[in-house]
Amino acid sequence: MAGLTVLEVLRRLDSGPRGLLETQADHRLAHYGENALPARRPVSWPARFARGLRDPFTGVLLCLGLVSAAVSSWGTACVITVLVLVSCALRSRAEYRADRSAAALRELITTTATVQRQAGPASAPRTREIPVDQLVPGDVIRLTPGDMVPADLRLLRASSLTVHQAALTGESKPVTKFPLDAPGRDPLADAALFEQPHLCFQGSSVASGSGTAVVIATGAGTRFAGAYGSTARRRGESAFDRSVNGISWILIRFMLLTPPLVLMANAALRGRGLETLPFAVAVAVGLTPEMLPVVVTAVLARGATILARRHEVIVKRLPALHDLGAIDVLCTDKTGTLTQDRPVLHCSLTPDGRPGPEPLHWAAVNSLWTLQLADLPAPDPLDEAILDAAEPEGYEYEGVAALPFDPVRRLAGALVRRPGRTGPHTLVVKGAPEDVLDRCTRVRTAGHDAEDTEIDSAARQRLRELVEAKAAQGLRLLAVAVTELPAGLPAELPAELPAGRGRLTSADEHGLTLTGFVALSDALAPTAPDALTALARSGVAVKVLTGDHPGTAAAVCRDLGLAIDPGTVVTGDRIAELSGPALAELAARTTVFARCTPEDKARVVAALRESGYTTGFLGDGVNDLPALQTADIGLCPRDAVHVTREAADVVLAAKDLTAIGHAIAAGRHSTGNIVTYLRITLSSNLGNVIAMLAAGLLLPFLPMLPAQVLLQNLCFDAAQLTFALDRPAPAALRGPATLRPHAFLRYITGFGLLNATADLATFAILTLTVPGSGHPAGQAAFHAGWFTENLLTQALVMLLLRAGRPAPAPICLAAAALAAIGLLLPLSPLAPALGMITLPGLYYLLLASVLTLYGAGLALANARHQRRYGDGSS
Ligand SMILES: Nc1ncnc2c1ncn2[C@@H]1O[C@H](COP(=O)(O)OP(=O)(O)OP(=O)(O)O)[C@@H](O)[C@H]1O
């Protein structure tokens, strides 16, 4: 449809400029389905199950199963298959529940689109907000800054519309879009599809300006869905992915190395051949933390649900909860997060710093007409404050064209004329004082004998000093300037023509006359000072990245209690000059960045990430989008603009900064639980593997039958599911929590060796108490003895290898169940089938002493580790 005229497009879509009838829209929704990306559609159970099979641990288990089947070790192969099926089923269930609760949370923050529809053929079109998934082809929608482009669109009207298409083209700068009636005859029609000026695509978002468009494709029919299929957009590896993948790959290497090592050692020292293979495979399986994905999903889903219920914080992507716990730098914008973004007019000042009405008068004319001329007026709090304070000034003028505010230019322009009068039009520009002053050549003196004079360098310096002085009081200052433009130049030309074709453009904003300033004050967010103090106490450095004046930013930060020296505020110009390590170094040592463009904010965040910080970004405006997407974790308040809410990983339901502290604590809590689970599982598994290897070499028979190894593994796996309900040590909540693969390795090796020592001591007492290991009965008793000891040591590890707090009831119960199985199974009627027999009483007596010593050793070593490293993570 790219080459058709607007009329042809509307006709093909059986729509019109007034929009669809409600009944038409209902039929289309039934026909085309919801406007949702394939990735957002519910996943079927078979697909979910198959996804579980793609996990690397499952892959390794399946390989080991195949090896067992190849050497006809059917028992081992069957147990491995059961293990894989159980872990996939549990994982599918955990993911299903997690997805369901994440979807329920997302429901709370549905993105909407402004659609124009008619109740009946004779009724007037009505504009209303509907969830984006209800849009259908043919719908006429309105676009405003901060909106997601909700489907593929053909523009009908536009006013200075620019869109971010980074997700589609990788281009970070916004591109201009405008309607073309007959694109086939326009030279711009040769541009690549995404560059076509008259088309907007799902996956992009409105940076500035406004527009009206007709939906040409929805859901799976959009270009975005076509290009990205069922995979969601990713911002690269998150802190969570990095740590879990790091640990997984270390383990996988171990697992792959184990069977050949066992085979070689047995062949070299015991002269055994391939008959050891099932045992070697079982040892490798024993090392696998099959339940890792299940426990991780369950822990994160539980954390996210509790966070939403207690603190109204919505985590849209589960791994984001871990990343929240790992945040060590939180960057935030100022307006709307640290301040309330409900500015009120403080004063209207003439260029000589005295109160005077003229600047407010022109500011109000500008605000009114930039809003009125937008396709969908999106009131900006600054404009609202100006209009609230002024008389209805703008109505004595008629708006001709507007250049809406955009955060890169930091200016807004409105071209107005007096109705019924001929003569030149007036261009009224308001914006950041530095940017307006750069475009001013004259200044208007106040009073009855007001006249315009050239600005010389001394006057320019005085104006700058005035701005600095007001900013230092924490006021937000806008400069207001005017100029006359000949009528007929841009006025009668359609505003949607691209730059350079005669419409009002930013190039017209020059040679201005400064009329003065309006100063606005914005109160601090009430919870911000306490929230910032709490964040600092919990080891999170806060950095402020704002588009506002350095003086205003510094004053606000001081009022909030952030320790900064006014000279250390870095501005966007400085950021733009630097790159690589120099920028990283500046970003690390600076607390406040002012006059930042959206791109500057993103570059600071990227530099911090490159220096190894786990960086969160909290923002609410369209100017925060690039930074939000660059950060490890994007946060926004619930009333942020659509696109920001859509891009954020975490949405704070209430505009209360203390919620961030709770969210970070919940992230640390979840990570703490995952860390405890991994420590206990891996050190215990490693201990068993070392002991099995040593015993395999020392004994003339296999220390445990493959089926026994796997059964013990299954019991331990089931018990570990209770770690989702754990409570980490308070120390784990005091600082950023991360999973550090190498620190882990050290930890599990130490405790694994301790575990192996207990196992080897058990071998010694078994050799003493169970004679006749040369015949099957002796071997069965040996196997039973070790099985019992293994489950008892695992129960002990679950209770003792913890950081500080006593284990909660479910973990205690699971440990008790493990101990009961370990003690009772060899005595039960099932024992012979599993190759075990009853043990002599003396063994239990000696085992009790080994376990007491092991428990004491474990508690001592754990306490020493706590003293040394303090935290509950690794
Ligand atoms: N509606 C507007 N009209 C004219 N100028 C504006 C308008 N809104 C903001 N400005 C000017 O542009 C500057 C940058 O605005 P921007 O929205 O990027 O950041 P901010 O709202 O000041 O701060 P933050 O980045 O903390 O949200 C403002 O400091 C102000 O001087």
Give the DSSP letter string of 99-111.
HHHHHHHHHTT--
CA-nearest residue, atom 22 of ligand 1: 548
Q: Say which residue the tokens 């006025």 belong to.
A: 491
CATH class (in words) of the domain with range 240-294+665-869: mainly alpha
Burial of 51 (0-12, 13-18, 19+ CB in 10 A): middle
pLDDT above 70: residue 836: yes
517 lines ligand 1 (CB under 6 A): no
Listed residue (61, 649, 729, 31) closest to 304, CA to CA:
649
- Give distance in angstroms: CA of 407 to centre of ligand 1: 6
Are 504 and 426 within 8 A, CB to CB? no
**How many A from CA of 554 to the centre of ligand 1?**
16
The first and second tokens of residue 753, run together, are: 């060796």
CA-CA-CA-CA torsion sign (702, 706, 710, 711): negative
Average pLDDT over residues 492-514: 65
Interatomic CA distance for residues 370 and 707, integer angstroms: 76
383 Cβ below 6 A of ligand 1: yes
Q: Report which protein residue has its CA nearest ligand 1's atom 31.
A: 432
Q: Measured between alpha carbons, how far is 562 from 572 in angstroms, rounded to an integer?
A: 20
d(CA 514, CA 516): 6
Closest residue to atom 29 of ligand 1, CA basis: 548
Is residue 856 very low, low, confident or very high in pLDDT (cuts 50, 70, 90)?
A: very high
Nearest CA to ligand 1 atom 21: 335
Q: How much distance in Å is there from the Cα of 547 to the middle of ligand 1?
A: 6
Ligand 1 atom closest to Cα of 430? 4
The Å distance, Cα 551 to ligand 1 centre, comes to 14
Residue 208 in contact with ligand 1 by CB distance below 6 A: no
Residue nearest to ligand 1 atom 16, measured at CA: 547
Q: What pLDDT, on a 0 to 100 scale, did the predictor assign at position 173?
A: 78
- Judged by average pLDDT, the poorest of 516-520, 761-765, 804-808 is 804-808
- pLDDT at residue number 767: 84
Atom of ligand 1 nearest to the CA of 366: 3
423: which DSSP letter? S
Tell the residue nearest (CA) to atom 20 of ligand 1. Answer: 547
- Ligand 1 pocket check for 382: Cβ under 6 Å: yes
Entry pTM: 0.79
- Checking if the pLDDT of 124 tops 90, the result is no
Kindly state the percentage of the chain with pLDDT values over 90.
Answer: 31
> Ligand 1 atom 15: the closest Cα is on which residue?
547
> Does the beta carbon of 548 lie inside 6 Å of ligand 1?
yes
CA distances from 351 to 420, 459, 469 (A): 31, 9, 13
Q: How far is the CA of 430 from the centre of ligand 1 (A)?
A: 11
Which ligand 1 atom sits nearest the alpha carbon of residue 383?
A: 1
Distance (Å, rounded) from C-alpha 21 to C-alpha 15? 9
Ligand 1 pocket check for 620: Cβ under 6 Å: no
Ligand 1 binding pocket includes 407 (Cβ within 6 Å) = yes
**pLDDT tier for residue 1 given thresholds of 50, 70 and 90:** low
Atom from ligand 1 closest to the CA of residue 410 = 12
Distance 768 CA to ligand 1 centre (A): 82
- Whether 288 shows a pLDDT value over 80: the answer reads no
Q: Could you tell me if the CB of 600 is within 6 A of ligand 1?
A: no
Residue corresponding to tokens 């406040």: 592
CA of 19 to the centre of ligand 1 (A): 34
Q: What is the pLDDT of residue 394?
A: 60
Report the residue among 478, 506, 597, 618 best suited for mutation to probe ligand 1: largest number of ligand atoms under 8 A from its CB.
478
Give the burial string for 304-316 (b: 16+ CB within 10 Å, else e): bbebbeebbbbbb
Does residue 552 line the site of ligand 1, with CB under 6 A? no
- The band of 638, judged by pLDDT with boundaries at 50, 70 and 90, is confident
Decide: helix, strand or coil at residue 209: strand
- Whether 409 is in the pocket of ligand 1, judged by its Cβ within 6 Å, is no
> Which residue in 152, 333, 548, 649 is the catalytic one?
333
Q: Is the pLDDT of residue 497 over 60?
A: no
Using 50, 70 and 90 to split pLDDT, how confident is the model at 233? very low
**What's the CA-to-centroid distance between 732 and ligand 1, angstroms?**
40
Nearest protein CA to atom 23 of ligand 1, as residue: 547
**Cα(88)–Cα(276) distance, rounded to whole angstroms?**
28
Report how far apart the first and last C-alpha atoms of the chain are (Å, whole number): 57
pLDDT reading at 496 higher than 50:
no
Which CATH number is associated with domain 1-211+225-233? 2.70.150.10
Among 110-124, 447-461, 466-480, 644-658, top mean pLDDT goes to 466-480
Closest atom of ligand 1 to CA, residue 433: 31
The one-letter code for the residue type at 612 is G
Domain residue limits, the chain: 1-211+225-233, 240-294+665-869, 314-340+524-652, 344-447+455-486+507-521
pLDDT over 90 at 26, yes or no: yes
* Block residue for tokens 């005859």: 185
Q: Which residues contact 136 (CB under 8 A, 6 or more apart)?
A: 20, 25, 28, 29, 32, 35, 215, 218
- pLDDT higher than 70, residue 467: yes
Would the CB of 387 count as within 6 Å of ligand 1? no
Sequence-distant (6+) residues with CB within 8 A of 82 are: 714
pLDDT 10s digits, 93-112 = 777 776 776 666 666 656 78
CB atoms within 10 A of CB 491: 18
Residue 333 a catalytic site member:
yes
Q: How do residues 346-363 score in pLDDT, each as one tens digit?
A: 999 999 999 999 999 999
**Ligand 1 neighbour 550 (Cβ under 6 A):** no
Which bin fits 493, alpha (ψ -120 to 50), beta or left (φ > 0)? beta
Mean pLDDT of 326-332: 93
Q: How far is the CA of 589 from the centre of ligand 1 (A)?
A: 25
| pLDDT score at 490 | 46
Separation in Å, CA 754 to CA 743, 758, 854: 17, 7, 8
Ligand 1: nearest atom to the Cα of 339: 26
What's the whole-number mean pLDDT along residues 44-58? 75
Measured by CA distance, the residue closest to atom 28 of ligand 1 is 548
Q: Give pLDDT, residue 238.
A: 67
Residues 166-177, mean pLDDT to the nearest whole number:
78
Question: Does residue 385's CB lie within 6 angstroms of at least one atom of ligand 1?
Answer: no
Q: Whose CA is nearest to atom 12 of ligand 1?
A: 410
Question: From the alpha carbon of 431, which atom of ligand 1 is closest?
Answer: 5
Q: Is the CB of 405 under 6 A from ligand 1?
A: yes
* 501, pLDDT greater than 60: no
If you search the block for the tokens 């770690």, which residue do you land on? 723
Homologous superfamily of 314-340+524-652? HAD superfamily/HAD-like (3.40.50.1000)
Determine if residue 548 is left, alpha or beta; phi over 0 gives left, psi from -120 to 50 gives alpha, anything else beta.
beta
- Contact 432 CB / ligand 1 (< 6 Å): yes
**Does ipTM come in above 0.90?**
yes
pLDDT of residue 39: 53
Burial class (CB in 10 A: 0-12, 13-18, 19+), 517: buried
598 within ligand 1 shell (Cβ under 6 A)? no
**Assigned CATH for 344-447+455-486+507-521:** 3.40.1110.10
Confidence grade of residue 428 (pLDDT, cut at 50, 70, 90): very high
Whose Cα sits closest to atom 14 in ligand 1?
547
Cα(405) to centroid of ligand 1, in Å? 8
Choose which residue among 521, 546, 569, 604 to substitute to test ligand 1 binding: the one with the highest number of ligand atoms within 8 A of its C-beta. 546
Return the amino acid letter for 870: G
- Mutation choice for ligand 1 from 544, 623, 636, CB with most ligand atoms inside 8 A: 623
Helices (H) and strands (E) in the chain, counts: 28, 24
Q: Please tell me the predicted confidence (pLDDT) of residue 605.
A: 96
622 Cα–ligand 1 center, Å: 11
